Amino acid sequence: MPFNCTTITRLLAAALLLGSLYLSSLASADRGSHITLDEPLPQPEWALPIIANGEGTLTATSNLGRVTYVDFWASWCGPCRLSLPALNRLSQEFDPKDFSVVAISVDYVDEDALDFLARYPVDYPVAIDKSGDSGRAFAVAGMPSGYLIGRDGLIREVHVGFRKGDEQVLRERIQSLLSE
């Protein structure tokens, strides 16, 4: 059976969904789950409006050439109170030419996300996915869900949930990808 672009995209989405569901089943509010993919996967195409720390639109290709952490979060997410400040610290530790963090709120209302950011401020760009299309494309199954993407634009690692020790784990993973 020949594979066309649609078939391959669906297979990749199914693989991401199964992986996210597995990680979601392991994750809880106080325990993060981290998995390194055996085979890097292309990230889905996405384009979302920036609501904080920038203007315009963020896209899947906005950070090509840099290691990027794409973080899906929500204002109602308890572990996000830990993850956003930790990711902000990580974004400040590395050269912005080499590493970036992109936050994608899954809230339906900008004000909910902005109120959360007023309590837990970050310096990196924050976009919003009101339709949920990008979250579905990434097969987000828990909050927060993060995707560590290599300079080549491929998803290398998936992280669901967040706990205090996860900041150091992510730091090591980022350093590893930066050394490639």
For domain 5-178, which CATH number applies: 3.60.21.10, 3.30.420.40, 3.10.310.50, 3.40.30.10? 3.40.30.10
Residue ranges of alpha helices (H) inside the chain are 5-26, 80-93, 110-119, 133-137, 166-178
Q: What is the pLDDT of residue 72?
A: 98
Domain ranges of the chain: 5-178
Q: How far is the C-alpha of 49 from the C-alpha of 11, rounded, in Å?
A: 28
Q: How far is the C-alpha of 116 from the C-alpha of 100, rounded, in Å?
A: 21
- Which helix (H) or strand (E) covers residue 158, if one does? strand 154-160
Cα angle 12, 14, 126 (rounded to 5 degrees) comes to: 75
Report which residue type is found at 42: P
- Which helix (H) or strand (E) covers residue 147, if one does? strand 145-149
Q: Is the CB of residue 35 less than 8 Å from the CB of residue 158?
A: yes
Would you write out the chain's pLDDT as a tens digit for each of its 180 residues?
455 555 555 555 545 554 554 444 443 333 457 778 889 999 999 999 999 999 999 999 999 999 999 999 999 999 999 999 999 999 999 999 999 999 999 999 999 999 999 999 999 999 999 999 999 999 998 999 999 999 999 999 999 999 989 999 999 999 999 998
